[in-house]
Amino acid sequence: MKTPNLLRSRSRLWLLSFAVGMAWSNLTVAHAATEPNLKKFFTVTPGGQLIVDVDRGSIDLSTGDVSDLEVEVIRIVTGKSVAKTEEILAAHEITFAQDANKVEVHAKMKKDFNGLFNVGGLNLNVQYKISIPKKFNLDLKTAAGSVTVGDLVGELKARTAGGSLKFGNIEGPVNGNTSAGSIHLASANGPVAVKTAGGSIDLGKVEADTVAETSAGSITVKVAKAKLVVKSAGGSINLGELDGETMAETSAGSIEVKKSKAKLVAKSSGGSLSIDDALEAVDARTSAGSVTASFSAQPTSDCRLSTAGGSVRVKVAANLAFDVDAKTNGGQVKTDLPIDDGGGKNKSSLQGKLNGGGKALILKTSAGGISLNKL
């Protein structure tokens, strides 16, 4: 019969053996999961070009007062044996090239490897950490991963088939495209064209012509100094100070504008429209929602605010002049302004001149009231 002390000793020995086995197993997995970092250094001068075209992985790019271009590649394979990990990493080909002041980075899996060994997934995660001089031109492309770029002086092109785009202050043109992810840009003084098939767009200050499009998400622009076109197939639009002509359109969401100094066209198929301060002409139309606007300066062309299902509320500065045409099919028109209606005033419509008349101010709703008051 075994003594209690002998049983306890054997139990401790088994636990110790198990712990050692687990530690060795974890060490083996960790060894199998991570390839030592790949690092490359290139001597460049400001104003050069970097091209990155890779089959997967995020791109994280920082800028500074440096004379070298540094590329670090981190690759991790998870859930595979040591042998399989080495096989996958060997098949993932990364090439570096330099031609004068242009550096290129390319990465792809060997064709025969993809077809023969890709059953169950490669479980290969890649990250590109890159540092460059602040004055540089970028052409970045990844088939799966986010792209982050710090402050830059130069042209920026960035594309990803699945990930977010995040850019700092860019002194130059910006072109960004993602098939699934959000887009953020702090500022740009060159033309901007950004597009996502599934995510929000957030732009800070843009100083040149800008186009922003999303198939499913909201759009925010804080300051636009030039022509602005924003389109969303499924989200709200929030705009700050607009110095240039603006076209804002959404298929499902509201549109809010803080200040527009040039002609504004705002259209929604299903949401309210709000313009806090208009200094120029406004064409605001929605199929379902209220429309509100305030005019603090005299527009140089006709204005129209209409909805198929909601109220229309407009305020104008006391010195502004309009030819007013207001009509509702499901409510009343109310005003406290001295409009010379010429006998054409009733509860559902109002036509007349304000301060002697001027550009047309057309207010229409099919179901709701209309109010026209002093700002």
pLDDT tens digits for range 106-145: 999 987 775 444 445 778 999 999 999 999 999 999 999 9
User: In which band, very low, low, confident or very high, does the pLDDT at 356 lie, cut at 50, 70 and 90?
Assistant: very high
Tens of pLDDT, residues 273-295: 999 999 999 999 999 999 999 99
The two tokens of residue 232 are 């969303």
Q: Which residue has the higher pLDDT, 16 or 226?
A: 226
Q: What is the pLDDT of residue 343?
A: 53
- pLDDT, tens digit, for every residue of 61-75? 999 999 899 999 999
CA–CA separation, 15 and 17 (whole Å): 5
